Amino acid sequence: MEKIDKRSRILEAATKLFAQLGYEGASTRQIAKEAGANMAMINYYFGSKEGVFMEIMTQKIQSFKEELDSINKDNLTGMEKLLRVAEGYAVRILSNHSFHRMMQRELLLSQRPEMFIKVKDAKAGNLLIFENIISTGIADGSFRRVDVRMLIATVMSTISNVALSPSQIISGTSLDINNKKDRKVITEQLIAYLKDLIITFLTPQK
């Protein structure tokens, strides 16, 4: 139990520091200090800073996969499943927008090929579940025929864009994505837009 607690504290500290300082900016020494641990513990549990980062990403991706699997197995219509997936993804990304920004930078730069490939492959697995929900809806006639992957890219890039460049939608308002209450408002606005977009785009034309 103590090992699990120490391990969890290291992951929590690393997530916070990666979000604040970026992957390069956060050192193992800083992570150890923030977690109330020591360098030896980080090496013992994760091997390196990259190991810590990969464990964080693995947990996040696995957690979302479990959420997707649960939604996919529920007795819901294709539209209900898709809307829940979009909402769940929006909530996840915006509630961790700083970490998402750091992660996107890592993926874009591709400075660590092994890390890049592992994260990319894991994300691709989750996208297959997303794709299956839409393809099944098209096959049974509840959705109109669309370019499935382009739709997924549209939904995911919209969510990511709000997290990465919130000024595009909050300019001229007093909203601040770093403020918890304001972030809730922004997230609700985003979810409402995505639901409207998906329903309008996928509903078969009469």
Model pLDDT for residues 88-145, shown as the tens digit of each residue: 999 999 998 888 887 777 777 666 677 677 777 777 877 888 899 999 999 999 999 9
| Among 107, 106, 69, 68, residue whose Cα is nearest residue 88 | 68
What pLDDT does residue 82 have? 94
What pLDDT does residue 100 have? 83
pTM, to two decimals: 0.82
Domains of the chain: 1-47 (1.10.10.60), 57-202 (1.10.357.10)
What pLDDT does residue 109 have? 67
Long-range contacts of residues 154-161, Cβ cutoff 8 Å, at least 24 apart: 154/197, 155/86, 155/89, 155/194, 155/197, 155/198, 156/89, 158/190, 158/193, 158/194, 158/197, 159/86, 159/89, 159/90, 159/93, 159/94, 159/190, 159/194, 160/93, 160/100, 160/104
Q: Within 10 A of 90 (CB to CB), how many other CB atoms are there?
A: 25
Model pLDDT for residues 18-77, shown as the tens digit of each residue: 888 888 889 999 999 999 988 899 999 999 998 998 888 888 888 888 888 899 888 999
Q: Which residue has the tokens 């669309």?
A: 146
What pLDDT does residue 102 have? 79
Q: How many helices (H) and strands (E) does the chain have?
A: 10, 0
What pLDDT does residue 63 have? 87
What pLDDT does residue 20 have? 87
What pLDDT does residue 112 have? 66
Question: Which amino acid is located at 84 in the chain?
Answer: R
> Average pLDDT for residues 187-193, to the nearest whole number?
96
What pLDDT does residue 205 have? 83
What pLDDT does residue 131 have? 92
Cα radius of gyration rounded to whole Å, the chain? 19
**Has residue 3 got a pLDDT over 70?**
no
What pLDDT does residue 190 have? 96
